[in-house]
Amino acid sequence: MLNPMPRVHRAMVAAPHYIASAVGSAVLHDGGNAFDASVAVSAVLSVVAPHMTGIGGDAFFLAYDAKTGSCVGYNGSGRSGMQASADRYLHAGLEKIPHRGVESAITVPGMVDAWWNVWTRYGRLPWERLIEPAVRYAEEGFPVSRNLREWIAKDRELIAADPGLRKVYLPGGRLPREGERLVHPELAATLRAVMEGGRSAFYEGPVMSAVTSAIEADGGLLTPDDFRMHAGEWVNPIRVTYRGCEVCQMPPNSQGFSVLMMLNMIETLDLSVYNRLSAEYFHLMVEVVKLAFRERDAFLTDPDFRPIPLDRLLSKEYAAKLMRSIRIHPPQAGQFRSQPTGSDTAYAAVVDEEGNAVSFIQSLYFDFGSAWTAGATGIILQNRGSFFSLDERSPNRLEPRKRTFHTLMPGMVLRGGKPYLLAGAQGGEGQPQTALAILTGVIDYGLTIQEAICLPRWVYGRTWGEDSDALRLESRCGAAIADTLRRWGHRVELVGRYDGVVGTAQGIMIEDGVISGAADPRGDGSVVGW
């Protein structure tokens, strides 16, 4: 039985790990604001959810500043190193960038820079107060969660191959028990250096030196100059209107515009005629997803390298044109083959008493990222750069100092100019699809945030890097719906009742002064509010 959805009036934290939610709550109670709490939550997630995120990865923040009434974003994604190029891999006889190992770790981690910039612009508490919980949990240990143990078991062979991972996550060569205390003294020392030295410790000081020395020793590409040159950036969110709401997303290199395209398309229809748990609903959603992904894959890249026609892609006219190509009467599945993407991500949201709201997401890309630890730092570097293409025709072709096509996309919906819904999810291809499920659930079907997150979900595509391009439905949808969709041309696979393959989501909803929130029962998250 699911816990009742918390409803409060003052503040709330929703995070994918219960320790992170508790840490964010403590920061707010100590006088911090939503920005302080988001940094603290992000930092502790880098310790307690190492299969999903870490300081060797990236982070995106989408924030509403109550003082100015404005919504802003921080793109904390790293660029490829100066030595990284498609020719470098092609000349080595490779057809694609390796998914694991030091050769997959070719983009500078952007997370610490994102923490620092969010804090310096909006934070209230001392920097040390925000990073200290992460240091403490790495140093003193934390209980292994259900989800973490499952991923350690799944990746046991991969973890065993790296000395740094093996030492921490396979203590004594065995799988840790759920609830067993895991300590990570090397990561604790690294986080302490960041706590004491700030951003510069990571990008210019002792942490940078240790990481790049390890990379050089193992034949990797990132250099000290790549770290010194790193800079994330403040950006203006992109947005569309949807049934009286304003839906905000991060601009490219994020894939956030894909869900905005989906909403534009379905706004041309009256969804109330489709039962939320019907074959017709799932068919419509999947066909909209295919069209948006086709456009996304044709254009998404680092906008500093190639223009992206967002005005056209996000226009209502273009959405209506795309919708005319969908076979609804009679239903017929369209053809599209998605790109395989990583999916391991941690999304959280915070709302404070002053009306500030932060929707943020972070990742190592694949589970345990590159599966390569940088020397004795305890840092697992992300393999985000492995998604670059070596094809000269691709907009996402690998070039030096380039940001890759990025799956991270925190979401925020405004109503009357103020935050109404903060939501996001784990899963590469799954993120925009889960966002679509949650947004239609709340806005079109009048569900609570918990009902929208808990309803049976789907995921289309190769979101876990697999070769399968099927439509996966949670078994709660029922065999009859699956059979109907198969008759309409979909390749359907039924998965578990609450299956992690569809990702895990968190959300906060603010309506008539009441704040409600939900953490996905598919994960280890929780909601704290008061």
406 is a domain residue: no
The structure's pTM equals 0.95
In a domain, 24, yes or no: yes
H/E element, 285: helix 279-299
272 has a pLDDT exceeding 60: yes
Average pLDDT over the chain reads: 94
Q: What is the pLDDT of residue 464?
A: 45
pLDDT of residue 278: 95
Strand, coil or helix: what is 493? strand
Verify that 330 and 441 share a domain, yes or no. yes
What per-residue confidence (pLDDT) applies to 340? 54
* Same domain, residue pair 197 and 337: no
Q: Are 139 and 185 in contact (CB under 8 A)?
A: yes
- CA angle in degrees (0–180, nearest 5) for 125-409-396: 125
Domain match, 287 and 215 both: no
**Listed residue (465, 407, 417, 415) closest to 439, CA to CA:** 415
Q: Are residues 156 and 109 in the same domain?
A: yes
Confidence band of 224 (pLDDT split at 50, 70, 90): very high
Is the confidence at residue 467, as pLDDT, over 70? no
Judged against a pLDDT cut of 60, whether residue 320 lies above it is answered with yes
Q: Evaluate whether residue 403 is within a structural domain.
A: no
Does one domain contain both 244 and 220? no
- Residues 6+ positions from 210 with CB-CB distance below 8 Å: 190, 374, 375, 376, 377
Are 23 and 79 contained in the same domain?
Answer: yes
Residue 467 falls inside a structural domain: yes
The 10s digit of each residue's pLDDT in 81-106 is 999 999 999 999 999 999 999 999 99
- Do residues 116 and 223 share a domain? yes
CATH assignment at residue 489: 1.10.246.130
Residue 468 has what pLDDT?
54
Q: What would the mean pLDDT of 308-321 be, rounded to a whole number?
A: 97
What total number of domains does the chain contain? Answer: 2
pLDDT at 422: 98
Host domain of residue 62:
11-234+345-387
Percent of the chain whose predicted confidence (pLDDT) is above 90: 90
Residue 402 lies in a domain: no
Residue 185 scores a pLDDT above 60: yes
Structure confidence at residue 444 (pLDDT) = 96
Cis bond before residue 253 (omega within 30° of 0): yes
18 lies in some domain = yes
Distances in whole angstroms, Cα of residue 447 to Cα of each of 208, 335, 439, 455 = 47, 32, 10, 10
pLDDT over 80 at 344, yes or no: no
Same domain, 338 and 372: no
pLDDT in tens, 128-142: 999 999 999 999 999
Catalytic residue, chosen from 212, 345, 377, 407, is 345
360 shares a domain with 442: no
Q: Which of 212-226, 330-344, 448-462 has the lowest mean pLDDT?
A: 330-344
> Is there a domain that residue 4 lies in?
no
- Token readout for 256 is 């956030």
222 & 297 share domain: no
Catalytic residue list contains 345: yes
The pLDDT assigned to 1 comes to: 41
Query: Is residue 428 domain-shared with residue 382, that is, in the same domain?
Result: no
Residue 3: pLDDT band by 50, 70, 90 thresholds?
low
Least confident of 55-59, 339-343, 515-519: 339-343
Kindly state whether residue 3 falls inside one of the protein's structural domains: no
Question: Is 60 exceeded by the pLDDT of residue 343?
Answer: no
What was the pLDDT predicted at 50? 95
- Residue 423 shares a structural domain with residue 494: yes
